[in-house]
Structure 1
């Protein structure tokens, strides 16, 4: 499959948006092209490198992951009480996005340093839920849940709206996350789709509905998180994120069919997902990481 091309002005806008998103106010400047030849935590031929290059899948999967995280009361309290998401969501989203890019595409030495910093921040996050249950962001069970929900969201968004992945590819995706997950402290994160399903079942009794979920969705509606050309699609992409949640989690959260996709919207999201999978943004981490590894920037964007 050939890569896609855009008119030069639009391509320039997307390149600028990619550069700006990874270098927001207060964020470190990261050069994914250096040092030449230094491997990442995942390999260039991994399923992870293919999945994380797709901005549509990342946006959808990220929202799915947060919805699942907010269903767990200890994680929900940690996010809502100890981050700036409610008052200043965009920088928080940019930092989270950069962390994901570093984890997958960054040179190993820089990724390990960043993850160690995240671990130190997590160690300071402690408190109680409204029900009086104590929590700490370094609790292995909570770290495993956050890792599981992130992997589930990103993989299923790509699988549903970009390109179907085989069972072997889906299992590889979960297994590939293990090195980074262990560095984050998620030593019990799922290594296959079957392990993820078992973890979801184990956590099911601990999940609950909260009005914070609806507050989160309202914040996302009001936050211009995507570059101009894609911003108009945000409401539909949010519906896509809800649509790929397991049915039983939607029941728990109170997200009925009215929150999901209509058939024509499913088609629109799939068209956008497939198109963005062939669109090379040379200023973005996936293409830059390919260059670092001596590969053409189009390497990830050419597939059957």
Structure 2
């Protein structure tokens, strides 16, 4: 009954998401087979819950992009080896597909995705803006990219997700997800909030706002989503993502008082919209993966036993 009443509001949202992040026409992952395969995490993981929230993940992913523009070597790989100026949406889609696949896909598919990315990384190398060498398979660089993403996804869920995050759940999330980073070749990956805080404190002195940062931020600000009301959609999610930035990152990115105000407005707007997104997206990869392992998707509405205490 409730779903029928909400359909006039949720149907356009579903079309928006499916247009912006379409399924591959052929050769996509079969999330419903083989039966019983838990993938890398399984339904009792915190990761399955946090990565199931569209608003938190998209805003968090954009926050991670902001953070990654501050690392000269991470940015150099994007600058030299991608067509981000023309296809930033494509880059977002590929990142979304990788995170979704390694989270929910059957085990063999998840490992195959990791192997493909490692193969690509092996050919991404060069000199950064200061003339220092970089390579995409540098373990320390991989750790930074992973940390910037997971910290942002966690912040996104805390801001826009359907339930509060207990401290134990946050620690479990970081501990679970580091297995993907380590499989890609990262090292010394933080596995708790305390370890993440220590890592961030140590890396801040190596981060900087450069001319390349400015250019990428300009491209991001003009992101052209292939959806109705693209400018409004973009601005809400971009500002909601930027609002997740920690204060030190906002300072490095030179965000003005006006930017901060836009972030607060976007945060309130997205929080109001988030329940409609959840009502619209009831048959995504998380739901199909739940069917694969024989559990009801409602299980993901509660924290696993052992991490549920705030």
**SS of residue matched to 1:88:** helix
Cα distance in 1 for partners of 2:233, 2:132 equals: 39
User: Following superposition of structure 1 onto structure 2, how do residues 204-215 of structure 1 map, counting pairs within 5 Å?
Assistant: 204-215=204-215
CA contact (8 A) 2:14 2:277 kept: no
1:175 match: 175
Cα distance, 1:69 vs structure 2: 1.2
Q: Which residue is equivalent to 2:81?
A: 82
* CA distance in 2 between partners of 1:193 and 1:3 (Å): 37
Per the TM alignment, residue 15 of structure 1 is displaced from its structure 2 partner at its CA by 6.5
1:220–1:252 distance in 2 versus 1, CA, 3 Å: closer
Task: Give the direction of change, closer, same or farther, for the CA distance of 1:268–1:75 in structure 2 (3 Å limit).
Answer: same
RMSD: 2.8
> 1:41 matched to which residue of 2?
40
Residue 266 (structure 2) pairs with residue 265 (structure 1): yes
Question: Shift of the alpha carbon at 1:8?
Answer: 6.8
Q: Which runs of 5+ in 1 are unaligned?
A: none
Structure-2 change in CA distance of 1:159 and 1:218 (3 Å): same
Matches within 5 A, 1:1-304: 6-7=6-7, 10-11=10-11, 14=14, 17-18=17-18, 21-24=21-24, 28-162=27-161, 163-225=163-225, 228=228, 232-262=232-262, 263-282=264-283, 284-301=284-301
Segment drifting more, 139-148 vs 33-42: 33-42
CA distance in 1, matches of 2:290, 2:248: 39
Per the TM alignment, residue 234 of structure 1 is displaced from its structure 2 partner at its CA by 2.4
Return the TM-score normalized by structure 2: 0.87
Q: Is contact 1:65–1:153 with CA below 8 Å preserved after alignment?
A: yes
Distance 2:22 2:155 in 1: 24
Matches of 2:286 and 2:13, distance apart in 1: 17
Q: How far apart, in 2, do the equivalents of 1:143 and 1:3 lie? A: 42
Contact 1:278 1:301 in 2 (8 A): no
Q: Give the deviation of 1:221 after TM superposition.
A: 3.8
- SS of alignment partner, residue 135 of structure 1: strand
C-alpha contact (below 8 Å) 1:5/1:279 kept by paired residues: no
**1:240 deviation in Å?**
1.8
Q: Secondary structure at the match of 1:7?
A: helix
- 1:224-275 deviations in Å (ceiling 9; x for gaps): 4475488733202211211221111221221233222454433222222344
Deviations 1:128-167 (A, max 9, x none): 0121100111111100000100001100011122233121
